[in-house]
Structure 1
Amino acid sequence: MKIFYKTRATATGGRSGHTALDDGGLAFDLARPGTGDVGANPEQLFALGYAACFDSALSMVAGQMKLEVTSKTSVEVGIGQRADGGYALDIDIYVETTGIDTAQAEKLVDAAHHACPYSNATRNNVDVRLHVTAI
């Protein structure tokens, strides 16, 4: 695989610590969900990245399909305990499109789901559900 871009982040203190890009471009204090502490958690950060990446994949694929469309992508990321005692993510992707009908929107979202690097990373090991609304 030819690598187009690579970045690095470092975390200290786990879910109650701090994480930052090594280049200094972005940093977050972290807080465990439900504690009331100020800070982000890894699931929120994953949701941010996945939403941006998926929406970008939609735009790229729409261009390839010669579709005039605008989109908005929201991603919900949950975490839960597996039967074996480990933990796993659970993901819902919500896409709203404007400018195309429902059938076209569903084809676009499916194609974007196969192009998006986050979708490719999670495929067959994380439950991901797609929800499409054509406006």
Structure 2
Amino acid sequence: MFPPAARTFLASSLRTTAVPRSAFSRVNARTVVTLKDIKYTATATAQGAGRNGTVKSNGLELNLALPKELGGSGKGENPEQLFAMGYSACLLGAIQAVAKKLGKEEMAKNAQVNISVHLGEPTELKGFGLAVDIKVKGIDEELLKAGHDFCPYSRALTKGAVVNISTA
């Protein structure tokens, strides 16, 4: 089904933790979202000195720099910024998509999604971990929940995602 490295990564991502769950989460056990049909694939390549290298995706090229808080120059983008940008755009799109079904298109037109991605040491693992704070302005709780449930980034973080990892 999955290569051995993917199974190990997937198994470790399925462990439940004592970290408080989102108000939208109803169960502590994680599931895994699998795809039956791929509609679009984005690709990216990172090169150089990791967090101080470059990243490219379909004509977009960015210079990366370790944030000052982590001992770097801060003179470039970092993966957490890129994740926050992608997640905020995806969640806004999801909110606007489900707003049509709920008859709340007008409300969603002026919605604003603010996402903070925090990088730090997790209490239960070695290395670094992520935490995400989301604040959405201009919509009600019903639309927020529906958008959060519909958003692929939200689902990947709350329900897990299949990660296939291997050497090239």
> Which consecutive unaligned segments of at least 5 residues does structure 1 have?
99-104, 126-135
- The corresponding residue for 1:102 is none
> Which consecutive unaligned segments of at least 5 residues does structure 2 have?
1-35, 161-168
- Whichever residue aligns with residue 117 of structure 1, its letter is P
Secondary structure (helix, strand or coil) at the match of 1:94 reads: strand
Larger radius of gyration: 2
- What is the aligned counterpart of 2:156 among 113, 121, 129? 121
- Whichever residue aligns with residue 53 of structure 1, its letter is C
Structure 1 segments of 4+ aligned residues over 6 angstroms from their partners: none
Aligned length: 117
Q: Distance in 1 between matches of 2:43 and 2:158?
A: 23
Identity %: 38
Secondary structure (helix, strand or coil) at the match of 1:2 reads: coil
1:25-64 matches, cutoff 5 A: 26-34=60-68, 35-64=72-101
Secondary structure (helix, strand or coil) at the match of 1:119 reads: helix
Secondary structure (helix, strand or coil) at the match of 2:111 reads: strand
Greater strand proportion = 1
Deviation at 1:97?
A: 1.0
Structure with higher RCO (Cα < 8 A, 6+ apart): 2
Residue 73 of structure 2 corresponds to residue 73 of structure 1? no
TM-score normalised over the length of structure 1: 0.81
Residue 122 of structure 2 corresponds to residue 82 of structure 1? yes
- Whichever residue aligns with residue 80 of structure 1, its letter is G
TM-score normalised over the length of structure 2: 0.66
